[in-house]
Structure 1
Amino acid sequence: MQNIGEVLDARAVTSVFQPLVDIASGGVLGYEALSRGPAAGPWESPAALFAGARAVGRANELDWICRARAYRSILAADADPDLTWFVNMEPAASRDDCPDDLAPLAAAAADRLRVVTEMTERAIADDPSGLLAATAACRSSGWGVALDDVGADPMSLALMPFVQPDVVKLDMGLLRAPGDPHTARVVAAVAAYAEASGAVVLAEGIETAEHLAVARAMGATVGQGWYFGRPGPLPAGARAGSRLPFLPAPKRDRRTPYQIIADRRPAHAATKAQLMPMSRHLEAFAADGREPCVLLACFQEARHFTPATARRFARIAGRAPLVAALGAGLDAEPAPGVRGAGLDDNDALRGEWNVLAVGPHRAAALVARDLGDTGPDPERRFEFALTHDRALVLEAARALLAWLSPARLPALLGQQ
């Protein structure tokens, strides 16, 4: 019996493919590549394979192996260039360079294939700038991005607009519980995102005609599941019925939240004491529990992230997908469950006090620029703007995420 190290060293991974079908026409749009370990052995299932690789610290290498093996099978098939290939990826793997022996396959895929990289919503909470970097790198190759298993975890609803996926994949559990209130909330949030962005909605796990009817009712235009075909070898001469559309690549905004919002909303002067109730209101907005919410805040300096503030943020983090605090002197976890980031003396954020809250349906932001007063802290004046414009808040929040762990971000984005 092979141990997991031998499996990885031998690159003993194979790919099977499941069709993705246009629900209206029945035409095949592409295939999802699914990885398998050596047949009839302990590592055959992808769950066992990745668990074994994680146990020996080689999960990122396995991720590269799985993708490269999929690319090899597709390239060897000389398939229709209009077919779209869905390939799973863990964003953490982008932190490691592609193994030398697999690099030619990765390069050939970037040059010749139309790929959608699938990522799960948990990645943005684990490593938000890593996920954004990985998605940007995919799009720089002209590839698309899919957010997988949406609805399996309610947290994914708040995270979806940060990823800006070209394809939203509804979790198969939704088809089996169409009358559940959770399903209704997920479908409404996905429909709102798809309407605003033009993203494609794909329903997974379609096994019956009834599932297909439910998927249509949920707004899915693409289907996947045993009803259309089980995973297997690539069919000979596979052709695309039509081409799955991609969204325009999002542009990275290097401005601060204050610069983004104050450019389009009137700014006014107020003291810190006058702004505190607004700040607390946005924290309460994130904590009220009506919908999962992302909370991002800039405190200028660690001393403003007081023990009382830390307790409030830790409570919110206990039931939110992402809570972050940025300021000079803050460490990577300034409170339990809270992502932190320190700021250099010359960082533009040092002059800003920002609180941004983003849920699946609601969003609000208070952005403020320090006017440089030296008197008592409550009397320090700020120029501020307040907005509930969801699109504008999201624009500022996406820009702010780049500060959370930015050391490798420019290189991964391929930007200077």
Structure 2
Amino acid sequence: MADLHAIIDERAVTTVLQPLVELAGGRLVGYEALSRGPHGSPWEKPAALFAAARAAGRDGELDWVCRASAYRAAAGLDPRLALFVNMEPAAARVPCPPDLAPAIEQGGTLRVVTEMTERAIARDPAALLAATSACRAAGRGVALDDVGADPGSLALMPFVRPDVVKLDMDLLRRPGDPGTARIVAAVSAYAESSAAVVLAEGIETPRQCDVARTMGAAYGQGWLFGRPGTSPPRDIVELPLPMAGPEPGDGTPFEIVTRRRRPTRASKADLLPLSRHLEALATDGPLPPVLLACFQHSRHFGPVTARRYARIARTSPLVAALGVGLSAEPAPGVRGARLSADDRLGGEWNVLVVGPHQAAALVARDLAETGVPDADRRFDFVLTHDRDLVIAAARPLLRFITPTP
């Protein structure tokens, strides 16, 4: 079979399962479902298959096909074992084809952990957050795959709140690289604060297993423990999924922060130095943070501000500006979000910075006084460096950002 459309139409995808094990004791914790196109075709490997489907506009349907195949392949799996199944977040916008519904429903009987790649975070954060919310509502775990392949995405990891962080296999092959050390430190910081578990991919030798453990991995997969399609006999232990349960509550950044912090009142002129300071934080260090800002209206995102944000966007994994009348790209590299005139965010001036090792937010609500010069406009505001609070306040903003092509 050599036609991509025929592969999708005929559901000609197969699934093999690769074991995931506990590194310390060698016990089995689950399997990853790996999809394959027809043997010998140009689309046998999943990366080529999905790239072709994406170009043809059928990647959402293909994603459903692969998930259905995974659930069928895992039928009868021990209920203590986790089944890691890959998902493209954008597929959540595509309805399940009716013929696949029975297999998808069968997945509800399995202990599913949905895997999403870190490249999806910056490309389509709204779809990613929607997909993770749906997974948690269904009682499923969430894993972030290939972490370290794009170091810039580390700053966005806290927004996903993965239960499992999967270290990219290349990290094991360059353990002495300074970049590897920065990635491992960022993952360690996240795991320590969240109780998430770390799993290393691509372990082929005992030496790589030792390296994975020094990187904080408690679990692993790779040829050392079993190739795809093999199932060596092992004792079983359950994989912990610490973030299972409902997602944090929504609201605007000001609403979320002021539920826990009492606001102070100040003029725009007095708040500007604080705003500029937080913007400057987004340029710090080898792992720059994310910068999300609400400008109320496009008139406050003037040429000087646009140039400043464009400079930040050259190194930051994500810079976004929200406001009434803003375009999809108000400055080069800056992701824009146009707010409706009656959106509650239109009354807020927010600057939020989130990185692997830092977090800060200025959240402010305009008092909407009339007849006052712009610099004298007064706001109720809070400045906070509480990491959990900053992330909770920033998450809702990602839902406004449209996907990149």
- TM (norm. structure 1) is 0.92
Say which of 235, 239, 261 aligns to 1:244: 239
> 2:337 matched to 1:345?
no
* 1:81 equivalent in structure 2: 79
Deviation at 1:231, TM superposition (A): 0.8
1:371 aligns with 2:377: no
* 1:79-133 alpha-carbon deviations (Å, 9 max, x no partner): 21111111111101111011111111111212x0111111111212111111000
Q: Report 1:48-197 matches (<5 A).
A: 48-75=48-75, 78-110=76-108, 112-197=109-194
* TM superposition shift of 1:250: 4.5
Tell me which amino acid in the other structure corresponds to 2:302: T
State the 1:344 CA deviation. Answer: 2.3
Provide the rounded CA distance (Å) in 1 between the counterparts of 2:345 and 2:131. 24
**Alignment: residue pair count:** 401
In 1, Cα distance between the equivalents of 2:311 and 2:34?
A: 39
Partner Cα separation in structure 2 for residue 23 and residue 250 of structure 1? 30
Give CA-to-partner distance per residue, 1:227-254, whole Å, 9 cap, x none: 1011115x49x77611111123243322
**Alpha-carbon distance, 1:255 to partner:** 1.9
- Which deviates more from structure 2 when the two are superposed, residues 383-392 or residues 87-96? 383-392
Amino acid at match of 1:80: D
Structure 1 unaligned residues grouped into runs of 5+:
407-416
What is the rounded CA distance, in whole Å, between the counterparts of 2:249 and 2:338 in structure 1?
A: 20
Deviation at 1:42, TM superposition (A): 2.1
Distance 1:400 1:41, change over 3 A: closer
Residue aligning to 1:28: 28
Aligned with 2:297 (options 297, 301, 304): 301
- Higher mean Cα deviation, 368-377 or 86-95? 368-377
SS of the counterpart of 1:287? Answer: coil
Partner of 1:414 in structure 2? none
Match of 1:260 in 2: 256
The alignment partner of 1:252 has SS state of coil
Of 258, 270, 273, the match for 1:277: 273
Give the partner amino acid of 2:220: G
Greater shift, 307-316 or 245-254, is seen at 245-254
Assess, with a 3 A threshold, how the Cα gap between structure 1 residues 308 and 166 changes in structure 2: closer, same or farther: same
What per-residue deviation string (whole Å, max 9, x for no partner) do you get for residues 332-364 of structure 1?
Answer: 222222222222233221111000011100111
Match of 2:396 among 391, 396, 399: 399
* 1:217 pairs with one of 214, 230, 255: 214
The CA distance in 1 between the partners of 2:245 and 2:332, in whole Å, is: 35
Q: 1:371–1:381: 8 Å Cα contact kept in structure 2?
A: yes
AA matched with 1:382: F
Contact 2:28 2:236 in 1 (8 A): yes
Match of 1:312 in 2: 308
1:203, 1:215 within 8 Å by CA — same for their partners in 2?
A: yes
The answer for the alignment partner of 1:326 in structure 2 is 322
1:56: Cα distance to partner? Answer: 1.9
Cα deviation digits, residues 50-105 of structure 1 (max 9, x gap): 22222322111111111111111112xx1211111111111011110111111111
Distance 1:394 1:49 in 2: 35
Q: Distance in 1 between matches of 2:206 and 2:199?
A: 16
CA distance in 2, matches of 1:177, 1:124: 25
Which residue is 1:411 aligned to?
none
Partner residue in 2 for 1:10? 10
Confirm or deny: 8 A CA contact 1:157 1:292 kept in the other structure.
no
* 8 Å contact from structure 1 (residues 314, 338) kept in 2: yes
Query: Does structure 1 retain, via aligned residues, the 8 Å contact 2:67–2:86?
Result: yes
| One-letter code aligned to 1:33 | A
Does structure 2 conserve the Cα–Cα contact (< 8 Å) formed by 1:151 and 1:170?
A: yes
Structure 2 unpaired stretches of 5+:
none
Task: Confirm or deny: 8 A CA contact 1:80 1:240 kept in the other structure.
Answer: no
1:356 is aligned, of 352, 358, 380, to: 352
Percent of pairs with identical residues? 66
Question: SS of 1:349's equivalent?
Answer: helix
The one-letter amino acid of 1:160's match is M
**Separation in structure 1 between the aligned mates of residue 48 and residue 399 of structure 2, nearest angstrom:** 34
